[in-house]
Chain A
Amino acid sequence: MHMANELLSVPVAAGALAIAAGGLGLVCRKVREAVSSEKTALMGILGAFVFAAQMVNIQLPVMPGTSGHMVGAVLLAIILGPHPGAIVISSVVIVQCLIFQDGGLLALGCNIINMGLVPVYIGYFLYKAATAGRFSPVSAFIGAMIACVLSVEAGAALVCIEVGLSGVLVAPFGTFLTAMLGVHFLVGVVEGLLTVAVLAYLQQVRPDIVKDALQGKVRLSKKMVMVTFIIFTVLIGAGLSLLASEFPDGLEWSYAERPEEPEFEPAVENKDSKIAAVDDFQSKYSPLPDYTVRGSELGMLNAEIESSSGWTSFAGVTGAAVTMVVIWLSAYLLRKRKPEAG
C-alpha cells in the first residue's frame, strides 16, 4: 500500500503532508502528556518489532504461491493504546521511506495517514467499541477482526481517493477502488486472523502484556474463523455493489478522465457540482500554472511533428545520456587514478 511520488500531484501531496504533520504533532503532544519517559524505549523497540514481525510470513490459502504477513497497526494500538501506537506505526512508515525507500518522500504524508494514523485510530476505536460492556471471547475476536479489516480497507480507500484527486488515474475510479478494496479485504482478513491469534498466544504465555486489553479468554476456533469470513464477504460484497450503483460509470469516467479529455468537461461540469468543486480545488491549489493546462498537452504533441520538433526531444534525450556517460567516465577515471597517486 506504499504510495510512490508519481501517483500524486503536488497539491494533494503537500496537503496530505500538512495534515500528517499536524496530526503527528498533535499526537506527539498527547503522548508527552500521557506517557512517562520509561515508555520511550518500549515504543522505539516495538517499532523495530513491526519490521521483524513483517518478516514472519504465512502462505495464503486462497492464492497458492502468495504469502501474507502482518502489519501490526491494530495489535500495537490494542496493546500500547492509540496515541503511542500511532507514533510507533508512523515512525515505521517514515523509516520505511527513508531507509528502505518504500514509498516516496513526497508521498510520505499520504502514507503516514493511510497506513499510520487512520488504521491505528479506526482500529483501536472499533476494537474498543466491540469489546465495551461485558467482555467475551467472541466480542474480542469479532472486534479485532472488524478493526483489522475496516482499518486496512479505510487505508486502501484513502489511497484511491488521493490518487483520484491527483488526476493521475487513467483507469475508471470505480474499477480502481473495487480492485484495491478487494485485494485489501484479503490483506485485512489475514491481518485480523494473525492479530487475534497473537493476542490469544500472548494471553496464554505472557498475560502481563495484554492484561488491560483482554479481560477474558480468547480462543481461535475454526468455526469462528469460517463464520467471520463468510459474514465479511457478504458485507463487503453488499457494500461494493451499493457503491457501484451509487456512482454510475459515466460520472466515474468523466471524473477520472477529465484531465486528459477536455471535451468531457463542459458536459459534466454543468450538471454536477461535485466535479466543479474538485476542479475548483485543483485549479485553486495548483502552484504551477503549466500543470493545470492539460488540454493543450496532447495538442502540443501532435503539433510537434508538424514543426519537426522531434529533433529537440531527440537532442534533449541524447544530451542527457551523453552528460551522464561523461560524468560517470570522469568519476571512474578520477577514482582509478587516486590510488596510484596515493
Chain B
Amino acid sequence: MHHAHIDKFAYQDSVIHRLDSRVKFIVTVLFTAVVISLPRTSVSILFCYAVGPFAVLVLAGIPLRFVFKHILIVSPFVLVLAFSSVFYDRSIVRIAFGPFLWEVAAGWLRCFSILGKFIITMMALIALVSTTRFGNLLCGLQKLGFPNILVIQLGFLYRYIFILIDRAHHIIRARSGRKLKNLGVRREVKVAASMVGSLLGRSIDTAQRVNIAMEGRGFNGNWHSLSRLRVRASDIIFIFLAAAFTAGLFIFVKPILG
C-alpha cells in the first residue's frame, strides 16, 4: 500500500489546502458543535448547513464520489441507531414541504435528522483531513497544546501504519492461499493468533532497529518540525466566512425554518 493511499488528496494544492492547519481544525470543531446542537426534529435547516462543507470540498477539488464512499463505509452503527428510532417514536406528526403534506411517525424525522447531521459532520471532517497533510495537522495540534509525547506517538503511528498493513496483507494472502475451508474455532483462533503474534514480534524488532537508526541521527525524544505555521490574510478571511455562514444560519435562518 502506498504511503499516501488514504490521504492522497491532502497533497493537492488549493486555496483550502494552503490554509493554516490550526484554523481549519478549530473551524471544523466549532462547526461540528453547532450542527450537533441543532434541534433534533428539524431536517430542512440541515440542508442549508450542508452547503458549507460542500463548498469547501468542491473548492479544494476533492472528488465527491470519494467523500460519499467514505461516509458510507463508516456509517453502519449510525444507520442502525437512526432507523431504530423509527420503531420507537411512533407519534404521528404532520409535515409540510412545499405543496405537499404528509403524516409520518416522528421517528422518521429524527432518523433523517440523525443521518443528516452524520453526513454533514463527516463531510466537514473529511474536508479537514483531505486538505491538510497529517504532519501539518500534528504540528498545528502541538501548537494548540497537545502533549509532545502524544504528537510523536501519532507521527510514528501514521508513518508505520502503511508498512504494517502491507505486512498484514502478505500474511493474510498466505493464509487464504493455504486455508481452503473453515478449520473450526480452535484452529482458526490458533492460526489467527500466530499471525498476530508474528506480526507483533516483527513490529517490535522493527521498532528496535528504527530506534537505533534514529538515535544514530541524534533523536532524543523531542519532536521538531520544519514547517512554520502562520496565520495569513487568507486564513482570517476563511475564519470570517465560516463564522458568518455558521452564525448567520443559526441566527437568521433557523428561526424561520424551525
Which of these, B64, B154, B199, B208, contacts A95 with CB under 8 Å?
A: B154
Residues of B within 8 Å of A104, CB to CB, are 32, 118, 121-122, 125
Contact call A316/B45, Cβ cutoff below 8 A: yes
A151: interface (CB < 8 Å): no
Asked if B121 and A45 sit within 8 Å, CB to CB, the answer is: no
Instruction: List chain B residues, Cβ under 8 A from A88.
Output: 153
Interface centre among B43, B93, B159, B160 (most CB of A within 10 A): B160
Q: How far is the CB of A68 from chain B (nearest CB, A)?
A: 9
Inter-subunit contact B29/A105 (CB<8 Å)? yes
Residues 84-105 of A, flagged 1 when their CB comes within 8 A of B and 0 if not, give 0001101110110111111111
Decide if A52 touches B164 in the complex (CB within 8 Å).
Answer: yes
Q: What residue in chain B is nearest A291 (Cβ atoms)? A: B37
B contact residues around A106 at 8 Å (CB): 29, 32-33, 36, 121
Q: Are A316 and B44 in contact (CB under 8 A)?
A: yes
Residue total for A at the interface (Cβ-Cβ under 8 A):
111
Q: In the complex, A323→B77 CA distance in Å?
A: 31
A225 contacts across to B, CB distance below 8 A: 186
User: Is A280 among interface residues, defined by CB-CB distance under 8 A?
Assistant: no
The answer, yes or no, to whether A238 is at the interface (CB within 8 Å) is no
- Given contacts A70-B196, A202-B197, A316-B45, are A99 and B158 in contact (CB under 8 A)? yes
Among B96, B155, B168, B199, the residue within 8 A (CB) of A309 is B96
> Any chain B CB within 8 A of the CB of A123?
no
Q: How distant is the Cα of A97 from the Cα of B146 in the complex, in angstroms?
A: 16
A7 at interface by CB-CB < 8 Å: yes
| Residues from 201 to 253 in B contacting A, C-beta threshold 8 Å | 201, 203-204, 206-208, 210-211, 214-215, 219-221, 253
Stretch at the interface among A35-43, A134-142, A264-272: A35-43
CA distance A17 to B215 in the complex (A): 35
In the assembled complex, which residues on chain B have CB atoms less than 8 Å from the CB atom of A94? 154
Q: What residues on B are CB-neighbors of A240 within 8 Å?
A: none
A101 to B28, CA, bound (A): 13
Contact A87 B150 (CB under 8 A): yes
Interface size class of B (residues with CB under 8 A): 35 or more
Contact across chains for B197 and A6 when beta carbons are under 8 A apart: no
Given A291-B37, A305-B101, are A58 and B188 also a contact pair (CB < 8 Å)? Answer: yes
Contact B197 A324 (CB under 8 A): no
Q: Which residues of B contact A37 (CB under 8 A)?
A: 219-221
Type the 1/0 row for A312-337, where 1 means its CB is closer than 8 Å to any CB of B.
Answer: 11101111110110011001000100
Q: Could you tell me which residues of chain A, from 6 to 51, have a CB within 8 Å of some CB in chain B? A: 6-10, 13-14, 24-25, 28-29, 31-32, 37-38, 40-49, 51
Residues of A within 8 A of B188 (CB): 58-59
User: Are B150 and A100 interface neighbours, CB within 8 A?
Assistant: no
Q: Which residues of B contact A319 (CB under 8 A)?
A: 48
Query: Which of B40, B167, B197 is the most central at the interface, judged by chain A CB atoms within 10 Å of its CB?
Result: B197
B153's partner among A43, A61, A310 (CB-CB below 8 A) is A43
Chain A residue contacts of B122, Cβ below 8 A:
4, 101, 104
Q: Which of A3, A101, A301 contacts B126 (CB 8 A)?
A: A101
Q: Is A194 an interface residue (CB 8 A)?
A: yes
Q: Is A235 an interface residue (CB 8 A)?
A: no
CB contacts (< 8 Å) of A90 on chain B: these are 150
Residues of B within 8 A of A57 (CB): 192
Cβ contacts under 8 Å, B190 to chain A: 197, 201, 220
With A31-B149, A47-B156, A194-B189 as contacts: A323 and B51 at CB distance below 8 Å? yes
Give the CA-CA distance A98 to B95 in the complex, in Å. 37
The docked-state distance in angstroms from the alpha carbon of A41 to that of B185 is 35
| Identity of the chain B residue whose Cβ is nearest the Cβ of A28 in the assembled complex | B147
Q: Is the CB of B172 within 8 A of A327?
A: no
The answer to whether B150 and A170 have CB atoms under 8 Å apart is: no
The reply to whether A105 and B125 contact each other, CB–CB distance below 8 Å, is yes
The CA of A314 and the CA of B258, in the complex, are separated in Å by 12
Report the nearest A residue to B137, measured CB to CB: A98
Contact B93 A298 (CB under 8 A): yes
Which B residues are in CB contact (< 8 Å) with A59? 182, 188
Binding site for A on B (CB under 8 A): 6-7, 28-29, 32-33, 35-37, 39-45, 47-48, 50-51, 54-55, 58-59, 61, 64, 70-71, 74, 77-78, 81, 84-85, 87-89, 91, 93-101, 106-107, 109-110, 113-114, 117-118, 121-122, 124-126, 128-129, 134, 137, 147-150, 152-161, 163-165, 167-169, 171-172, 182, 184-186, 188-201, 203-204, 206-208, 210-211, 214-215, 219-221, 253, 256-258
Q: List 10 A-B contacts (CB under 8 A).
A: A6-B114, A31-B149, A44-B207, A46-B204, A106-B121, A198-B200, A220-B193, A304-B96, A305-B94, A310-B99
* Further contacts, 8 of them, CB under 8 A, given A97-B125, A99-B134: A44-B156, A58-B192, A91-B154, A105-B125, A168-B114, A222-B186, A297-B42, A305-B96
- 6 tightest Cβ-Cβ pairs between the two chains A and B: A44-B156, A310-B96, A197-B193, A37-B221, A314-B98, A48-B160
